[in-house]
Amino acid sequence: MGDLLGLVLKRLGLGLVTLLVVSILIFFAVELLPGDIAEAVLGQSATDETLAALREQLGLDRPAIVRYFDWLGGAVVGDFGVSLVSGDRVTDAIADRFLNTLFLAAYAAVIAVPISIFLGVVVALLRNTVFDRVANVVTLTSISSPEFFLGYILILYLAVKTNAFPAIASLSGDMTFGELLHRTFLPALTLVLVVTAHMMRMTRAAIINLLASPYIEMARLKGMPPWKVIVKHALPNAWAPIINVVALNLAYLITGVVLVEVVFVYPGVGQLLVDAVSKRDFPIVQACCLIFAATFILLNLAADVGAILTNPRLRHPK
């Protein structure tokens, strides 16, 4: 138990160090952008006095390193400052959007995870058959296609030609849960097509890699059916790499939704980030990037812990 706790704490410490480095990159990348932030906000017709007052209000007259530590201290307690465009608190602007993004990611995950694991097991059972080859071609095509391309294809065939689903995922407070699922189906399906292919291939590879193990051969020699060999012997030992892949794809579902949200005009953090970049609303840009980084690091940590818990060799490396 002590070894496990030590490994978890070590992973957590590395995650915090990584997040600190990412925060430095995010802050100073915005600092290095060309142009004057105050002039970008007020426009070229602003007077020198107005520009100077805004710079003082935003703290731009102070050294960058001082502003970084002020921003980092606020971010630690959930205070990312104030939006330059709307004047609202950044936390308030992001809160509802982040919940929308989490809902979309959860919607896609509920569909993608069981389907990908089931298909991975089936393809492993039927490897080197026509079904296996077709599945490989389809999954490679899905992985190689950009999200926005898949999104536009789905809009063309499921929204424009058949009118089965709305092309724009507009949300409102008076929707029922069924209407919410219907309106967000196309962006969720786009994410499902991307992550299912990857998770299915990794599940297949993990199970096939175990099929050459001596205990699998022994189970076969005892006359056990192929599906029982995989379900009772191969699959439990393949959970570590499968959990790793699932966690990493869940991280992608949350952090990689920017293009999908833009295509379907979905009111999530990705759409908010794109709007903030176009308007040069840097406090929101910095907050969105840091939240994405923290989510990705947290889910990577969950993947490491899950792999450790399901693999005795990782719990006892000696």
Residue type, 24: I
pLDDT at 3: 66
Quick one: 134 and 19 in the same domain? no
Q: Is residue 88 included in any domain, yes or no?
A: no
Quick one: 231 and 168 in the same domain? yes
Query: pLDDT band at 251, cuts 50/70/90?
Result: confident
Quick one: 61 and 175 in the same domain? no
Please say if the pLDDT value at position 40 is more than 60.
Answer: yes
The fraction of the chain above a pLDDT of 70, given in percent, is 90
Quick one: 46 and 164 in the same domain? no
The total number of structural domains that make up the chain: 2
Quick one: 169 and 278 in the same domain? yes
Please say if the pLDDT value at position 265 is more than 60.
Answer: yes
The residues that bridge with 89 in the sheet, in sequence order, are: 82
Q: Is residue 91 included in any domain, yes or no?
A: no
What is the average pLDDT across 216-241?
75
pLDDT at 2: 60
pLDDT at 174: 80
Q: Which of 29-38, 150-159, 173-182 has the lowest mean pLDDT?
A: 29-38
Q: Is residue 121 included in any domain, yes or no?
A: yes
The model's pLDDT over 103-146, given as tens digits with 9 standing for 90+, comes to: 998 899 899 888 888 888 888 878 888 888 888 888 888 888 88
Please say if the pLDDT value at position 36 is more than 70.
Answer: no
Domain final position from 22, 45, 76: 76
Q: Is residue 200 included in any domain, yes or no?
A: yes
The mean predicted confidence, pLDDT, of the chain is 81
Look up the domain containing 241 and give its range: 97-315
Q: Are 159 and 165 in contact (CB under 8 A)?
A: yes
The residues that bridge with 82 in the sheet, in sequence order, are: 89
Quick one: 23 and 111 in the same domain? no
